[in-house]
Chains A and B, each alone.
Chain A
C-alpha cells in the first residue's frame, strides 16, 4: 500500500464535490491557486509566522543546522538564526517542558518532535502538564504551543518508528489534535495552530509530505473541529483521516466504476471531532465504513463507529464497517508491513460488505 499514495486536492480529485466552498469568501472573486506539496505548505506557514511575529520560535532535534529530519525547516536556520531556530539536545521531555514554560512567559514556541513515537518521552509534559495547566490554575495560565510530530508507518522503519498514536492524544481534554492530509489543510491548519491560545498537536504523515495540491493565493486558515466532505455519493459514507482519507478517495474511484457512489469525509481534526457531516451523510447513504491506519482497538474508528450507532442507528441498513491497521507491532519485512496497514482493496471490500 505504500506505492499508491498520491494525495490530491479536492479540486482535482473530486470535481463534483462542494469541497471547502464554505471557506471561500465570494466577495474576493475567483481564487488564484498555486501548486505545492504538504511539506512546502507546512514550511510556508511556519515561515510566514516567523516573519510576522518575533515571539514565534521553533525548537527541536536537528531542525537547525541539519535542516530537519523530514526537511521541513530547511534553510530556516540560515534565514532566522539560532535564537529563532533552536537545535535542542535529544531530550524530548525538556523540549516540550521548556516550550510550555516559554509559552507561559510570553513566547510562541513551535516544537518539532521528529516522530510521534518519540513524543512518548514527552508524554508527561504533553498530557500531565500542557493539557492541565489552564484548568489547574483556574484559568490563569494558558499554554499556546504547537507540537509537530510525524505519524504512521509504511516505510519499513520497524516497530518503534511506525506507530499511529494520534488517537491517544485525541482522548485528552485540553489538547487539540489536527491531521492535515492535503497541502490546503496543512497550510491553513498550521496558520491556525500558531495563532491558537492552547496546546495544539499538529500531526503529519510521513507518506504525505510529497503529496501535491493547489492552494489559494489568498490568505485563509482552517480551524480545528471541521470535517470536510471530499466527495459526495449516495450509496455509502467513507470516513478517514491522513493516509486513510487518501485511500478512501481512491476506493471511491474504484467503486464508481462499479456504479457505487461514495461520500468521502476527511475528519482533519481528531479533537475536537466534528461528526456532523458524517451523521448527515449516513442519514442519506445508510451505510458507513470508517478507516484509519492505527490499531483496531480503542481508536478513532471505534469512536466514530460508536457515535454513528448512537446518533444514526435508525438510518443504518448495515453494521458500520471498520478498516484498521492490524493489532500488531509494525513489522520490518516489506511483505509483512503491507499486511499491517489498510489498503484500498480493504476499503472496497468493506464497502461491498455493507451492501450485501
Chain B
C-alpha cells in the first residue's frame, strides 16, 4: 500500500473560523481522553473484563473531536461499530460507556448493546451499528423526519471506507440527494476495510468523488488534523443547514491499532504504521500548542494526568457496577403498546422531542 499524504485541504473549501487556543486545548484533552479510554479498554479486554469484539479508535481521534464539536445538541448522530470515540466526543458519560463495554446495567445501553451498539437518546446519539453501511439508510430517515416536522436538525452519519462498496451506501446517497435531506455523510477513510486495503476493494480510492455521481458536494479533510476536520465540517454544515441537501465529507485518517483486538495485522507493514504515527493527531496538536506558547509542557502533563484520573474512575465505575438483572433478557424486545405510538415515544423520546404528547 502506497502511503501518501492523503488530505487535500484545498478541496474542501475554506472557512475563516480559527479555533481559539482555549478551544484547541479542550480538543487536545478530549482527544487524549478518547486515546486513553481506548488503551485502557484494550487492557481490560486482555483481562477479560470486556468480551466480544473491541474496535479501537486510536489514531482517528481528530475526526470525531473536530467534526462533532460543530454539531448542536438537537442534531442526530448515527455511527458504526468503532463508535467509542464518537460517543465520548458527543459528551456521553465515559463511565457509562466503559460500563457498557463491561456489559453492566449502568452502561449507556444497559449492558444489552455492547461496544458496537452505544446509544444515548439524551444526546441524540442514536446508535453504533455493526452491519457495514446498514445505518446509512437510517440516517436518511432521521433527516426526513426533521424536514417533515419542520425541525432545525441535521443528521451526522459516520461510516468507514469499507461501507462505500455496499449497496446500502449507494441507495442512501441517492435518496438523500433526491429528497434533499440534511445528512452529512462522514466517511472515515482509514485505508483498510478490516484487513483489505482500500485499493484492493474499491475501484475508486477517492471516495468523496462518489458524491458527484449523486449530485451532492463532496470534499476531503485531513483526518489527522483536528482543526481541518472542524473546518471541513463547517463547510458541510453550512451546506446542509441551507436546505441544499446532503454533503459528503471524507476524512483521511489511519487506525494505529488492529481492526479489532483479534487482528494480527498481517496485511500492513510496521513501517507504514510508524510513518502514520508520525502524524499522531494528539502529539502534533500538543507540540503545536507548546511551540506557540499556548500551553507549557507542565500544563499539558497536568492535563493528561486529569485524563488519566478520569479513565481510572471510569474503569472503577464499570467494574463496580452490577450485571443486568436476569429478567432483562426478556425485556426491550417489544415496546409497550398503546393507542398511540407517540404516547410510547414520549416515554422513550429522542432528545428534545416536542411532538410526543399529541396523541
Which of A's residues lie within 8 Å of B, judged by CB?
A: 53, 55, 57, 83, 88-89, 91, 93-109, 124-125, 128-129, 133-142, 144, 173-174, 176, 195-198
User: Nearest 5 pairs between A and B by C-beta?
Assistant: A101-B141, A97-B137, A105-B145, A138-B110, A142-B335
CA–CA, A24 to B318, complex, Å?
53
CA–CA, A125 to B136, complex, Å?
10
Most buried by B among A83, A102, A144, A198: A102
Other-chain residue from A89, A101, A139, A140 in contact with B178 (beta carbon distance below 8 A): A89
Q: How far is the CB of A138 from chain B (nearest CB, A)?
A: 3
Let me know if B138 is at the binding interface, CB within 8 A: yes
B100-144, CB under 8 A of A: which get 1 and which 0?
Answer: 000000011111110001011100001101010011111111111
Other-chain residue from B138, B143, B332, B353 in contact with A100 (beta carbon distance below 8 A): B138
Neighbouring A residues of B78 by C-beta, 8 Å: 101
Neighbouring A residues of B110 by C-beta, 8 Å: 138-139
| Chain A, Cβ-Cβ closest to B110 | A138
| A–B Cβ pairs within 8 angstroms, 27 of them | A55-B355, A94-B136, A94-B168, A97-B136, A97-B138, A97-B141, A101-B140, A101-B141, A101-B142, A101-B155, A102-B145, A106-B345, A106-B350, A106-B353, A107-B144, A125-B137, A129-B134, A137-B112, A137-B119, A138-B112, A139-B348, A141-B126, A141-B348, A174-B333, A195-B341, A198-B335, A198-B337
Other-chain residue from B141, B143, B333 in contact with A134 (beta carbon distance below 8 A): B333
Q: How large is the interface on B (under 10, 10 to 19, 20 to 34, 35 or more residues)?
A: 35 or more
How many residue pairs bridge A and B at CB < 8 Å?
A: 186
Q: How far is the CB of A313 from chain B (nearest CB, A)?
A: 27
Most buried by B among A89, A133, A141: A141
Let me know if B24 is at the binding interface, CB within 8 A: no
Residues A101 and B175 in contact, CB atoms below 8 Å apart:
no
Other-chain residue from A133, A135, A197 in contact with B338 (beta carbon distance below 8 A): A197
| Chain B, Cβ-Cβ closest to A84 | B148
| Chain B, Cβ-Cβ closest to A127 | B131
Residues A108 and B341 in contact, CB atoms below 8 Å apart:
yes
CA–CA, A125 to B129, complex, Å?
11
| Chain A, Cβ-Cβ closest to B78 | A101
Which of B's residues lie within 8 Å of A, judged by CB?
A: 76, 78, 107-113, 117, 119-121, 126-127, 129, 131, 134-146, 148-149, 155, 167-168, 171-172, 174-175, 178, 331-342, 344-345, 348, 350, 353, 355-356, 359
Neighbouring A residues of B144 by C-beta, 8 Å: 98, 101-102, 105, 107
Neighbouring B residues of A144 by C-beta, 8 Å: 335, 341, 344-345
Other-chain residue from B117, B120, B141, B341 in contact with A98 (beta carbon distance below 8 A): B141
Q: Do A136 and B112 form a contact, CB below 8 Å, given A98-B137, A98-B144, A197-B335?
A: yes
Most buried by A among B119, B167, B171, B175: B171
Neighbouring B residues of A105 by C-beta, 8 Å: 76, 141-142, 144-146, 149, 350
Residues A136 and B350 in contact, CB atoms below 8 Å apart:
no
Most buried by A among B107, B142, B353: B142
Q: Do A98 and B140 form a contact, CB below 8 Å, given A138-B107, A142-B345, A197-B336?
A: yes
Neighbouring B residues of A104 by C-beta, 8 Å: 126, 138, 141-142, 145, 350
Residues A140 and B141 in contact, CB atoms below 8 Å apart:
no
Most buried by A among B139, B141, B167, B331: B141
Neighbouring A residues of B344 by C-beta, 8 Å: 142, 144, 197
Neighbouring B residues of A93 by C-beta, 8 Å: 137, 167-168, 171
Q: Do A173 and B136 form a contact, CB below 8 Å, given A97-B168, A137-B117, A138-B110?
A: no
